[in-house]
Structure 1
Amino acid sequence: MKFGAVMAKTEDAFTMGKIHSRSWRTAYKGIVPDEIVAAFTADKQAERFARAIAARREEYYLFTVDGRPAGVASLYRSHEDGEPDCVGEIYSIYFHPDFWGTPATQAGLEFCIKRLKSLGYSRLTIWVLCDNIRARRFYEKNGFVRDGRAQQITLGRPLWEERYSMEV
């Protein structure tokens, strides 16, 4: 497996939208209401990625495996008010379901951790839906721990998410 990570460009937005929507729709089926899952389309996500990449408030990456688009991630300084400057956040990391359970997902997470560390962050966070057991196990296996922060969000219905963190 040849893993690659490149900083995303606006022309990558549609590819990223396809990966993100397929991953999101698969991961959250049965967790998020069906009508919300159905509305999470590649086109809508591509538009969101194009705007976000152009704004450059955070870093966006496109991951490849053997030259094939496989995953996406966004990261930078924590978006939470009051967090010290040493806290970086993985805002999102999604892989196409074809790559779930493969070394690619591990390589993608390791890339995000190393990148945030190289930017000078010594503590990293990621928010995870409480009902997303697969993701929670993955982050826990990789050294993230629940740090006691939780919040309710609304995705068609109220859902809880927990913050995971790690020192690097």
Structure 2
Amino acid sequence: MSSSIQIRAATLRDAKAIAQIHAAAVQAAYKGLVPDEHLKSVPLEKRVAYWREAIEYCEPQVKVAIENDKIVGFVGFDRSRDAKTRPTTGEIWAIYIAPNHWNKGVGAVLWNAAREGLHEEGCTNVTSWVPLRNERALKFHETAGFEREDESAKTAIIGGMKIEEIRFKRSLISTGR
């Protein structure tokens, strides 16, 4: 199915669709793990404002996945935000797919777009912070060749809830081909 997916840089007009996918994916991924009131605690307008600013200032760079003229997922990536990381370390800041497009290859296409973008920026490694309770995200990163950095575990506050996260890392340098 991923062959019908197109990738392009996000535009300001995409901010609302990105925010809606972000909200829907978070709510679906954490249903039953996090109380519903916490899942819905970020107003859509606040998410739209965040993504408009990210797109306008390219922090992070945002690419969207499109199928049949409709945005079905997005990825935000840039240099790592972690202290004391090399300037050649990139980070996947966010990668979300509309729940009705899960398991259809959209994530892999977005990951490839981010990998190419980070490589063009001179990055040789990439990291991603993944909530430990999000089994789908953990599996996705492992399938994409990321490895857990067990010593990196930390607690983040998301929607007023404490969520344990772990950093995943992988090389962007191709090994033969």
Instruction: Give me the TM-score of the superposition, normalised by structure 1.
Output: 0.93
Instruction: Judge which range, 120-129 or 52-61, deviates more.
Output: 52-61
Instruction: Judge which range, 21-30 or 129-138, deviates more.
Output: 21-30
1:129-168 to structure 2, matched below 5 A, reads 129-148=131-150, 149-155=152-158, 156-168=160-172
Q: Give the SS at the match of 1:93.
A: strand
In structure 1, the residue matched to 2:108 is: 106
Extract unaligned runs of 5+ from structure 1: none
Q: Percent of pairs identical after alignment?
A: 26
The number of residues matched between the two structures is 168
> Which 4+ stretches in 1 moved above 6 angstroms?
none
Shift of 1:55: 2.7
Name which of 64, 67, 71 aligns with 1:65: 67
- Mapped partners of 1:10, 1:21: distance in 2: 18
Instruction: Give me the TM-score of the superposition, normalised by structure 2.
Output: 0.88
Instruction: Judge which range, 38-47 or 22-31, deviates more.
Output: 38-47
Shift of 1:56: 2.6
RMSD (CA atoms): 1.5
Instruction: Judge which range, 150-159 or 134-143, deviates more.
Output: 150-159
Q: Give the SS at the match of 1:39.
A: coil
Q: Is the 8 A contact 1:65 1:104 kept in 2?
A: no
Per-residue deviation, residues 42-63 of structure 1 (Å, max 9, x unmatched): 3331121112222333211121
In structure 1, the residue matched to 2:126 is: 124
